[in-house]
Structure 1
Amino acid sequence: MADLMTYAGPAPADGPGTRTGGVPLVPAGFAWPECTECDGAMQFLAQVRLGGDLLSIFMCQNDPGLCDEWDATAGGNRAYLFGADATEPAAVPGEGETLLEEVSAVEVVPVDAPAYPQAAAEWSRRTGRPRSDVLGHLGGEPAWLQFDETPACASCERPMDFVMALEEGHDWHTKINFGGGRGYAFRCAPCRAAAFLWQR
């Protein structure tokens, strides 16, 4: 069984649910992340509801390909695991590539299939909708495009738990820039830590 994240139309820019794009909901005192390589403000990609937690993902897009935004530890992306106090839209920096061009609502659809790629193909066949309307999946096993890059938690050094795979998006005009690849998000719940990377 795979829990697919499917495109569910436009969403409010500050909506509380799982979505790609828009403005992140954050706790008080949040500082918008900056890339450690170019010092520019990162682009907000998505927020995902995980029970009472909110996973938020950012990635540098100021100089695509020049900063190591695909790596979990190089400083070109950032993932946060917020709690129930993440309720206010963040103040968006005035400079840098900070927001996606489109806000997309996400519907989670369970599909009975042995793995994510088969589930996505089955959902597309069953619904008659394009494969690009599958925005990723929650839980299960990551369908790596290259090799296993499960990150270790910086605090406890244990392998982090896989949370979500994220596709570029349903519309090539407004999609996330993974170079034609796929993103992967992880968390260490005891340490309240998260990590993100992408492959192609």
Structure 2
Amino acid sequence: MQFLAQIGLSDVDPVSAGVLSIFMCQNDPGLCDEWDANAGGNRAFVFGSDATDVVSVPDDGVCLLEETSAVDFVQVQTDDYLEARERWARDTGRSVLDVLGQVRGLPAWLQNDETPACSVCREPMSFVVQLEEGHNHQTAANFGDGGCDYGFRCTSCRRAAFLRQR
């Protein structure tokens, strides 16, 4: 599986610590059931605060993206993700395609609400992050040509889940 993203949980909830780390199948979209949080095509893990060190890129091995990138967080005062993207683009004069997702808030589902249940306690998981595919082919993850990926966690059981819609 390819490492996709790491989200600091303190960015989601100021009293939380640790990270949500997200991995996805490296095959063409649709071959690994990425749309199902429990089918094995995606994996997400919650790691404690002792796992927040930045690691170096390995000197050898297969690099699946030509480049990698970090992102900036920009606070926009609205609960509507689509409205936030439009407002940000208007205020900055940049394209909405430059917005690579959201942390916190409510997911902007492309299809129906597919909030996963925790595999341990069976309660609905909390939304953490929505990721957009990206517009630059050198750094964009392959989300099936315009899909979105959604990350969740169970705060009580420290479990995580990840799924795709397109």
TM-score when scaled to structure 1? 0.72
AA aligned to 1:175 is A
Determine the structure 2 residue equivalent to 1:57: 22
Q: How does 1:172-183 map to 2 (within 5 A)?
A: 172-179=137-144, 180-183=146-149
Determine the structure 2 residue equivalent to 1:76: 41
Determine the structure 2 residue equivalent to 1:67: 32
Query: Which 10-residue stretch deviates more, 58-67 or 137-146?
Result: 58-67
AA aligned to 1:126 is D
SS in 2 for 1:85: helix
For residues 156 and 114 of structure 1, the distance between their equivalents in structure 2, rounded to whole angstroms, comes to: 28
Determine the structure 2 residue equivalent to 1:112: 77
Task: Determine if contact 1:165/1:182 at 8 Å carries over to the other structure.
Answer: yes
Determine the structure 2 residue equivalent to 1:194: 160
Determine the structure 2 residue equivalent to 1:45: 4
Q: How does 1:145-184 map to 2 (within 5 A)?
A: 145-179=110-144, 180-184=146-150
Task: Determine if contact 2:8/2:18 at 8 Å carries over to the other structure.
Answer: yes
Structure 2: runs of 5+ lacking an equivalent: 11-16
Task: Determine if contact 2:69/2:139 at 8 Å carries over to the other structure.
Answer: no
- How many residues of Structure 1 are paired with residues of Structure 2 in the alignment? 157
For residues 130 and 172 of structure 1, the distance between their equivalents in structure 2, rounded to whole angstroms, comes to: 16
Task: Determine if contact 1:134/1:170 at 8 Å carries over to the other structure.
Answer: no
SS in 1 for 2:101: strand
For residues 81 and 55 of structure 2, the distance between their equivalents in structure 1, rounded to whole angstroms, comes to: 32
Q: Encode CA deviations 1:140-199: one digit per residue, 9 max, x unaligned.
A: 111110001000000100000001110112413431111111011000011111100010
Task: Determine if contact 2:5/2:22 at 8 Å carries over to the other structure.
Answer: yes
SS in 2 for 1:107: coil
Structure 1: runs of 5+ lacking an equivalent: 1-41
Determine the structure 2 residue equivalent to 1:142: 107
| Distance change (3 Å), C-alpha of 1:46 and 1:114 | closer
AA aligned to 1:136 is G
Query: Which 10-residue stretch deviates more, 119-128 or 82-91?
Result: 82-91
| Distance change (3 Å), C-alpha of 1:82 and 1:114 | closer
AA aligned to 1:125 is R
| Distance change (3 Å), C-alpha of 1:173 and 1:83 | same
Q: Report sequence identity in percent.
A: 61
Shift of 1:80: 0.7
| Distance change (3 Å), C-alpha of 1:103 and 1:72 | same
Q: Which has the higher strand share?
A: 1
